[in-house]
Amino acid sequence: MGPGVFTPELISTVAVPLSESNEVALLADERTACVIDSYEGQVRCVDGEGTVAGVFGREGEGPGEFGNPGDLARGDDGTVGVVDPALGRFTVFEASGAYVSDVLLPDRLFEPLPSFGAVVSGLSLDYMAMLGGETFGSLVTRYDVNLASGQVAREEGSPQATWDVECGQVIYGIPDREEGWVFVACEGHLIFVGDTGDATVLRAPMYVPELPAERDVARLEEMLRGFNRRRGFPISEGVEERLESYRATPKNYYLSTGEQLFDDANRYWIATQRDQHEWSYLDVYENAEYVGAVRVRDRLRAFDLLGSTLVVLVDRQVGADDGDGIPDRALDWYDIGDLPFGR
């Protein structure tokens, strides 16, 4: 059977507060998931039945407090880790919100890999690349930080971006589970780099150049204004220029740089911008080959997966009873144990 689209069974759904953050972490029990409420500066953890395990965090610099909660990761022991770029700190909590420990990070742009144990691993993207400029070193640097000592156990740059991509721009990369990497590039290109440095460059089979819809433009405007507000910049600084360019440029293949990961079988999952009205799509690759797509309902903003469970953070479709015109937010749990492709 060739590549197809798989619609998994929906297990449960739970409403969560509106937020500017697109972060979700599925915890080790596969039933509890945590999101960030950016308006309250807190983390909220709930299970698939809607039971709130914990709501925690407050503004400050002390233990268990946040300057700005930014990214989430899953602890192997059922905990959740929170990256605070404002304080340059990684804090570990129980799902109830009980404070466990914290450690300073080697870089404020640290983006954690999905899970951690005694060591938390994360990536830091070259700042010039973030601004769309040319990078002359490694595009991404991987750090492994010992949570007990705070020492950097590993600092390693990604392979140099010397591959032949027609449109020229390599944007972001993540390591796989076997010392390889995968990079996203412009116009739907992907570069899979093996542990020996050999590379496979391909254009995503399901990528179709598509200009942003107005709902996409509105979403970007909200994100840009939120970015300015969190950093103390004038709210409208640079927004109109970015929106004008965005309207005229075909959308990226990928949803965002942070919405891609490798599962336990070393398959590569990437959230795409395909359609995203009634359904959203995650494309799956194995051994540098597209093997199929997973379709989930509504407008996907973030995802995480562990074992046979996929959890997605979504914006619901605006219905006739939504007087404010703002999509509601929810977490949906799916059973992917019968995934019909890959291992």
Q: Where are the domains of the chain?
A: 4-210+250-335
For residue 156, the model assigns a pLDDT of 94
Q: Strands 89-93 and 80-84, how do they pair?
A: antiparallel
Mean pLDDT, rounded, for 74-85? 97
Element (H, E) at 42: strand 42-47
Neighbours of 142 (CB within 10 A): 19
What pLDDT, on the 0 to 100 scale, is given for residue 1?
A: 43
- Give the lowest-confidence range in 25-34, 96-105, 186-195, 319-328: 319-328
Residue 167 has a CB neighbour count (10 Å cut-off) of 11
- Cα distances (angstroms) measured from residue 53 to each of 45, 227, 339: 5, 29, 29
**Res. 190: pLDDT tops 90:** yes
pLDDT for the residue 159: 92
d(CA 295, CA 308): 15
183, two tokens: 């990079």
Q: Identify which has the larger pLDDT, 242 or 215.
A: 242
Predicted confidence at residue 216, as pLDDT, reads 79
* DSSP secondary structure code for residue 221 in this structure: H
State the pLDDT confidence band at 169, using cuts at 50, 70 and 90. confident
Q: How confident is the model at residue 135 (pLDDT cuts 50, 70, 90)?
A: low
How does residue 145 score in pLDDT terms, banded at 50, 70 and 90? very high
Cβ-proximal residues to 196 (8 Å cutoff; 6+ apart), any chain: none
Please enumerate in sequence order all residues whose Cβ is within 8 A of that of 234, keeping only pairs 6 or more positions apart, or say none: 228
Chain center to CA of 258: 3
Distance between CA 296 and CA 315 in Å, rounded? 12
- pLDDT value at 312 more than 70: yes
CB 266 within 8 A of CB 272: no
Do 43 and 55 touch, CB atoms closer than 8 A? yes
CATH class entry, domain 4-210+250-335: mainly beta
Q: In what order do the strands lie in the sheet with 152-157?
A: 111-112, 119-125, 140-146, 152-157
Contacts of 126 (CB under 8 A, 6+ apart): 135, 137, 138, 139, 140, 141
For residues 58 and 336, is the Cβ–Cβ distance under 8 A?
no
239 sits in which H/E element: helix 239-247
Pairing of strands 99-104, 152-157: unpaired
Name the band, by pLDDT with cuts 50, 70 and 90, for residue 77.
very high
Quick check: 282 and 301 in contact, CB under 8 A? Answer: no
CB 57 within 8 A of CB 19: no
> How much is the pLDDT for 131?
47
- In 3D space, the residue among 19, 26, 25, 61 whose CA is nearest the CA of residue 42 turns out to be 19
89-93 vs 260-262, strand pairing mode: unpaired
pLDDT at 138: 79
Lowest mean pLDDT across 172-176, 202-206, 235-239, 308-312:
235-239
Q: Rounded distance, CA 73 to CA 69, Å? A: 12
What is the token pair recorded at 231? 């950093």
The helix/strand/coil state of 19 is coil
Going by C-alpha positions, the residue among 68, 90, 89, 88 that lies closest to residue 80 is 90
Torsion of CA 89, 90, 93, 95, to 10 degrees: 120
Pair 36, 23: CB distance under 8 Å? yes
N- to C-terminal Cα distance for the chain?
A: 14
pLDDT at 325: 67
Tell me the whole-structure pTM to 2 decimals.
0.90
Q: How far apart are CA 10 and CA 136, in angstroms?
A: 45
Mean pLDDT rounded to a whole number for the chain: 91
Q: Supply the pLDDT for residue 137.
A: 62
Strand partners, 164: none
pLDDT value at residue 11 = 96
pLDDT band at 126 (very low <50, low <70, confident <90, very high): confident
For the segment 159-181, the average pLDDT, to the nearest whole number, is 89
The band of 315, judged by pLDDT with boundaries at 50, 70 and 90, is: very high
* pLDDT over threshold 50, residue 194: yes
Q: Looking at the DSSP assignment, which residues form a beta bridge with residue 218?
A: none
pLDDT at residue 311 tops 80: yes
Residue 320 has pLDDT above 70, yes or no: no
